[in-house]
Structure 1
Amino acid sequence: MIEWFGENLWAAWLALCFILLMFEVFSLDLIFIMLAAGAVAAGAVALAGGAVWAQLLVGGVVALLMIGAIRPVALKHLKSRSPETLTGVDRLTGIEAAAVETVTQTSGLAEVDGDT
Protein backbone atom coordinates (compact mmCIF):
# COMPACT_ATOMS: atom_id res chain seq x y z
CA MET A 1 0.00 0.00 0.00
CA ILE A 2 2.73 2.48 0.95
CA GLU A 3 4.71 1.58 -2.18
CA TRP A 4 1.65 2.32 -4.34
CA PHE A 5 1.19 5.65 -2.59
CA GLY A 6 4.83 6.56 -3.19
CA GLU A 7 4.59 5.64 -6.86
CA ASN A 8 1.27 7.43 -7.39
CA LEU A 9 1.70 10.61 -5.41
CA TRP A 10 -0.21 12.44 -8.13
CA ALA A 11 -3.39 10.80 -6.77
CA ALA A 12 -2.77 12.36 -3.36
CA TRP A 13 -2.32 15.78 -4.99
CA LEU A 14 -5.55 15.26 -6.91
CA ALA A 15 -7.39 14.27 -3.73
CA LEU A 16 -5.98 17.34 -1.97
CA CYS A 17 -7.17 19.46 -4.89
CA PHE A 18 -10.73 18.15 -4.56
CA ILE A 19 -10.71 18.68 -0.78
CA LEU A 20 -9.51 22.27 -1.25
CA LEU A 21 -12.18 22.86 -3.87
CA MET A 22 -14.84 21.64 -1.43
CA PHE A 23 -13.54 24.12 1.16
CA GLU A 24 -13.72 26.85 -1.49
CA VAL A 25 -17.35 26.04 -2.21
CA PHE A 26 -18.19 26.79 1.42
CA SER A 27 -15.88 29.78 1.97
CA LEU A 28 -16.09 31.60 -1.42
CA ASP A 29 -12.98 33.60 -0.56
CA LEU A 30 -10.79 32.47 -3.49
CA ILE A 31 -8.02 31.23 -1.18
CA PHE A 32 -8.67 27.51 -1.38
CA ILE A 33 -9.09 27.55 -5.15
CA MET A 34 -5.65 29.14 -5.46
CA LEU A 35 -4.20 26.44 -3.19
CA ALA A 36 -5.99 23.83 -5.32
CA ALA A 37 -4.20 25.23 -8.37
CA GLY A 38 -0.92 24.67 -6.54
CA ALA A 39 -1.97 21.08 -5.81
CA VAL A 40 -2.73 20.55 -9.51
CA ALA A 41 0.71 21.89 -10.44
CA ALA A 42 2.36 19.61 -7.88
CA GLY A 43 0.35 16.70 -9.27
CA ALA A 44 1.57 17.50 -12.76
CA VAL A 45 5.17 17.38 -11.51
CA ALA A 46 4.40 14.06 -9.82
CA LEU A 47 2.97 12.67 -13.07
CA ALA A 48 6.11 13.78 -14.88
CA GLY A 49 8.19 11.81 -12.39
CA GLY A 50 9.55 14.71 -10.37
CA ALA A 51 10.97 14.31 -6.89
CA VAL A 52 8.85 15.08 -3.84
CA TRP A 53 10.87 18.22 -3.10
CA ALA A 54 10.20 19.45 -6.66
CA GLN A 55 6.49 18.76 -6.27
CA LEU A 56 6.37 20.72 -3.02
CA LEU A 57 8.40 23.57 -4.51
CA VAL A 58 6.33 23.88 -7.68
CA GLY A 59 3.04 23.52 -5.80
CA GLY A 60 4.05 26.15 -3.26
CA VAL A 61 5.31 28.62 -5.85
CA VAL A 62 2.20 28.25 -8.01
CA ALA A 63 -0.10 28.65 -4.99
CA LEU A 64 1.75 31.77 -3.82
CA LEU A 65 1.73 33.28 -7.30
CA MET A 66 -1.98 32.61 -7.65
CA ILE A 67 -2.73 34.15 -4.25
CA GLY A 68 -0.48 37.15 -4.89
CA ALA A 69 -1.20 37.88 -8.54
CA ILE A 70 -4.52 36.35 -9.60
CA ARG A 71 -6.64 36.56 -6.43
CA PRO A 72 -6.56 40.37 -6.05
CA VAL A 73 -7.64 40.88 -9.66
CA ALA A 74 -10.37 38.24 -9.37
CA LEU A 75 -11.68 39.74 -6.12
CA LYS A 76 -11.75 43.19 -7.70
CA HIS A 77 -13.94 41.92 -10.52
CA LEU A 78 -16.12 39.82 -8.21
CA LYS A 79 -16.79 42.68 -5.82
CA SER A 80 -17.27 45.40 -8.41
CA ARG A 81 -20.44 47.36 -7.78
CA SER A 82 -21.28 48.51 -11.27
CA PRO A 83 -24.99 48.68 -12.15
CA GLU A 84 -24.58 45.81 -14.62
CA THR A 85 -23.34 43.43 -11.94
CA LEU A 86 -25.78 44.26 -9.16
CA THR A 87 -28.39 41.65 -8.29
CA GLY A 88 -31.25 41.20 -5.86
CA VAL A 89 -32.08 44.01 -3.47
CA ASP A 90 -28.86 45.88 -4.33
CA ARG A 91 -30.17 46.35 -7.87
CA LEU A 92 -33.33 48.09 -6.59
CA THR A 93 -31.55 50.98 -4.86
CA GLY A 94 -32.52 54.27 -6.49
CA ILE A 95 -35.31 52.85 -8.66
CA GLU A 96 -38.70 54.53 -8.28
CA ALA A 97 -41.68 52.43 -7.19
CA ALA A 98 -45.39 53.07 -7.56
CA ALA A 99 -47.78 51.77 -4.91
CA VAL A 100 -50.48 49.56 -6.42
CA GLU A 101 -52.18 48.92 -3.05
CA THR A 102 -51.88 50.64 0.29
CA VAL A 103 -48.43 49.93 1.69
CA THR A 104 -48.10 49.36 5.44
CA GLN A 105 -45.33 47.94 7.62
CA THR A 106 -46.63 44.40 7.17
CA SER A 107 -48.34 44.35 3.77
CA GLY A 108 -48.73 46.14 0.48
CA LEU A 109 -48.09 45.89 -3.23
CA ALA A 110 -45.86 48.07 -5.38
CA GLU A 111 -44.67 48.14 -8.97
CA VAL A 112 -40.93 48.48 -9.48
CA ASP A 113 -39.36 48.71 -12.93
CA GLY A 114 -42.46 47.15 -14.50
CA ASP A 115 -42.63 44.24 -12.05
CA THR A 116 -45.21 43.91 -9.25
Structure 2
Amino acid sequence: MEWIREYATEAWLGLAILLGVAEMFSLDLVLIMLAAGAAGGLVTSLFTELVLVQFLVAIAVSVGMLAIVRPGLARRLHTGPELRIGHTRLIGTQGTVTRAVTAMDPGEIKASGEIWTAKPYDETLTIEAGETVDILEIRGATAYVHPVPRLEL
Protein backbone atom coordinates (compact mmCIF):
# COMPACT_ATOMS: atom_id res chain seq x y z
CA MET A 1 0.00 0.00 0.00
CA GLU A 2 2.93 2.30 0.69
CA TRP A 3 4.19 1.83 -2.87
CA ILE A 4 0.85 2.99 -4.31
CA ARG A 5 0.94 6.19 -2.24
CA GLU A 6 4.55 6.81 -3.18
CA TYR A 7 4.14 6.26 -6.93
CA ALA A 8 0.49 7.26 -7.46
CA THR A 9 1.34 10.16 -9.77
CA GLU A 10 3.43 7.94 -12.02
CA ALA A 11 0.78 5.20 -11.98
CA TRP A 12 -1.98 7.63 -13.01
CA LEU A 13 0.26 9.07 -15.76
CA GLY A 14 1.09 5.59 -17.05
CA LEU A 15 -2.58 4.59 -17.01
CA ALA A 16 -3.61 7.75 -18.86
CA ILE A 17 -0.94 7.17 -21.54
CA LEU A 18 -1.85 3.48 -21.86
CA LEU A 19 -5.55 4.27 -22.28
CA GLY A 20 -4.77 7.07 -24.76
CA VAL A 21 -2.66 4.75 -26.90
CA ALA A 22 -5.31 2.01 -26.72
CA GLU A 23 -7.90 4.56 -27.92
CA MET A 24 -5.90 5.08 -31.09
CA PHE A 25 -6.56 1.46 -31.97
CA SER A 26 -10.21 1.28 -30.92
CA LEU A 27 -11.42 4.75 -32.06
CA ASP A 28 -14.56 4.25 -29.99
CA LEU A 29 -14.10 7.35 -27.78
CA VAL A 30 -14.54 5.30 -24.61
CA LEU A 31 -10.92 4.71 -23.66
CA ILE A 32 -10.02 8.37 -24.19
CA MET A 33 -12.75 9.30 -21.70
CA LEU A 34 -11.25 6.84 -19.22
CA ALA A 35 -7.83 8.37 -19.92
CA ALA A 36 -9.29 11.75 -18.99
CA GLY A 37 -10.45 10.18 -15.73
CA ALA A 38 -6.93 8.88 -15.14
CA ALA A 39 -5.65 12.40 -15.80
CA GLY A 40 -8.11 13.62 -13.15
CA GLY A 41 -6.62 11.07 -10.76
CA LEU A 42 -3.15 12.30 -11.72
CA VAL A 43 -4.03 15.91 -10.93
CA THR A 44 -5.61 14.86 -7.64
CA SER A 45 -2.48 12.88 -6.71
CA LEU A 46 -0.51 16.12 -6.92
CA PHE A 47 -2.64 17.62 -4.13
CA THR A 48 -3.36 14.66 -1.86
CA GLU A 49 -1.86 11.30 -1.01
CA LEU A 50 -5.23 9.74 -0.24
CA VAL A 51 -5.60 7.05 -2.91
CA LEU A 52 -9.33 6.72 -2.23
CA VAL A 53 -9.88 10.39 -3.08
CA GLN A 54 -7.77 10.03 -6.25
CA PHE A 55 -9.76 6.96 -7.26
CA LEU A 56 -13.12 8.70 -6.63
CA VAL A 57 -12.06 11.74 -8.68
CA ALA A 58 -10.90 9.47 -11.52
CA ILE A 59 -14.25 7.64 -11.51
CA ALA A 60 -16.24 10.89 -11.37
CA VAL A 61 -14.30 12.43 -14.25
CA SER A 62 -14.60 9.23 -16.33
CA VAL A 63 -18.34 8.90 -15.78
CA GLY A 64 -18.86 12.60 -16.47
CA MET A 65 -16.87 12.43 -19.70
CA LEU A 66 -18.73 9.30 -20.84
CA ALA A 67 -22.14 10.76 -20.00
CA ILE A 68 -21.70 14.38 -21.09
CA VAL A 69 -18.85 14.75 -23.59
CA ARG A 70 -18.83 11.46 -25.53
CA PRO A 71 -22.41 11.51 -26.94
CA GLY A 72 -22.03 14.94 -28.54
CA LEU A 73 -18.51 14.25 -29.74
CA ALA A 74 -19.49 10.88 -31.23
CA ARG A 75 -22.49 12.42 -32.98
CA ARG A 76 -20.33 15.18 -34.45
CA LEU A 77 -17.66 12.76 -35.66
CA HIS A 78 -19.99 10.12 -37.08
CA THR A 79 -22.25 12.47 -39.02
CA GLY A 80 -20.93 14.72 -41.70
CA PRO A 81 -22.22 16.65 -44.62
CA GLU A 82 -23.93 14.74 -47.37
CA LEU A 83 -21.59 14.70 -50.32
CA ARG A 84 -23.38 15.11 -53.61
CA ILE A 85 -21.11 14.36 -56.51
CA GLY A 86 -21.61 13.79 -60.19
CA HIS A 87 -25.02 14.40 -61.65
CA THR A 88 -26.79 14.02 -58.28
CA ARG A 89 -25.59 17.51 -57.33
CA LEU A 90 -28.07 18.91 -59.86
CA ILE A 91 -31.13 17.35 -58.24
CA GLY A 92 -33.07 20.04 -56.42
CA THR A 93 -31.50 22.90 -58.37
CA GLN A 94 -33.05 25.03 -61.10
CA GLY A 95 -32.30 25.37 -64.77
CA THR A 96 -33.55 27.27 -67.78
CA VAL A 97 -35.20 25.60 -70.76
CA THR A 98 -33.24 26.30 -73.97
CA ARG A 99 -35.37 24.12 -76.28
CA ALA A 100 -39.02 23.23 -75.60
CA VAL A 101 -39.48 20.12 -73.46
CA THR A 102 -42.25 17.59 -74.12
CA ALA A 103 -42.67 13.93 -73.30
CA MET A 104 -42.51 12.93 -76.97
CA ASP A 105 -39.69 15.27 -77.98
CA PRO A 106 -37.04 15.74 -75.30
CA GLY A 107 -35.79 19.29 -75.09
CA GLU A 108 -32.76 20.88 -73.48
CA ILE A 109 -32.09 22.81 -70.32
CA LYS A 110 -29.10 24.73 -69.07
CA ALA A 111 -28.22 23.98 -65.44
CA SER A 112 -25.00 24.86 -63.63
CA GLY A 113 -23.48 26.01 -66.91
CA GLU A 114 -24.13 22.65 -68.62
CA ILE A 115 -26.64 21.69 -71.32
CA TRP A 116 -28.76 18.65 -70.45
CA THR A 117 -31.34 16.68 -72.37
CA ALA A 118 -34.63 17.09 -70.51
CA LYS A 119 -38.07 15.56 -70.29
CA PRO A 120 -41.01 16.75 -68.20
CA TYR A 121 -41.52 14.88 -64.95
CA ASP A 122 -45.26 15.10 -65.62
CA GLU A 123 -45.61 13.61 -69.12
CA THR A 124 -48.68 15.72 -69.91
CA LEU A 125 -46.77 19.00 -69.69
CA THR A 126 -45.09 21.02 -72.40
CA ILE A 127 -42.46 23.45 -71.12
CA GLU A 128 -41.53 26.29 -73.45
CA ALA A 129 -38.06 27.76 -73.97
CA GLY A 130 -37.12 30.43 -71.45
CA GLU A 131 -39.06 28.83 -68.58
CA THR A 132 -37.33 28.12 -65.28
CA VAL A 133 -37.57 24.51 -64.14
CA ASP A 134 -36.77 22.49 -61.05
CA ILE A 135 -34.65 19.40 -61.65
CA LEU A 136 -36.40 16.54 -59.85
CA GLU A 137 -34.55 13.50 -61.13
CA ILE A 138 -31.70 12.43 -63.39
CA ARG A 139 -31.92 9.15 -65.30
CA GLY A 140 -28.87 8.42 -67.38
CA ALA A 141 -28.12 11.68 -69.22
CA THR A 142 -31.70 12.98 -69.09
CA ALA A 143 -32.97 15.44 -66.51
CA TYR A 144 -36.62 15.15 -65.51
CA VAL A 145 -37.92 18.61 -64.78
CA HIS A 146 -41.00 20.47 -63.61
CA PRO A 147 -41.74 24.15 -64.28
CA VAL A 148 -41.32 26.59 -61.42
CA PRO A 149 -44.71 28.11 -60.65
CA ARG A 150 -45.03 31.84 -61.40
CA LEU A 151 -47.38 34.31 -59.81
CA GLU A 152 -49.65 35.86 -62.38
CA LEU A 153 -50.81 39.35 -61.47
Aligned mates of 2:38, 2:32 — CA distance in 1: 10
Superposed displacement of residue 6, structure 1: 2.6
Q: Return the structure number with greater strand share.
A: 2
Q: Does 1:95 align with 2:94?
A: no
Runs of at least 5 residues in structure 2 that lack an aligned partner in the other structure? 88-153
Question: What residue is the counterpart of 2:65 in the other structure?
Answer: 66
Runs of 4+ in 1 over 2 A off after TM superposition: 2-6
Q: How does 1:1-116 map to 2 (within 5 A)?
A: 3=2, 5-83=4-82, 91=83, 94-96=85-87
Structure showing greater Rg: 2
Q: Which has the higher contact order (CA 8 A, sep 6+)?
A: 1
SS of match in other structure, 2:28: coil
Runs of at least 5 residues in structure 1 that lack an aligned partner in the other structure? 84-90, 97-116
Q: Percent identity?
A: 36
Aligned mates of 2:56, 2:40 — CA distance in 1: 10
Q: Which amino acid aligns with 1:31?
A: V
Q: Which amino acid aligns with 1:33?
A: I
Q: CA RMSD in A?
A: 2.0
Q: TM-score, normalised by structure 2?
A: 0.52
Aligned mates of 1:28, 1:4 — CA distance in 2: 33
Q: Which amino acid aligns with 1:19?
A: L
Aligned mates of 2:40, 2:21 — CA distance in 1: 18
Q: How many residues align?
A: 88
Q: Judge conservation of contact 2:5–2:50 (CA < 8 Å) in 1.
A: no
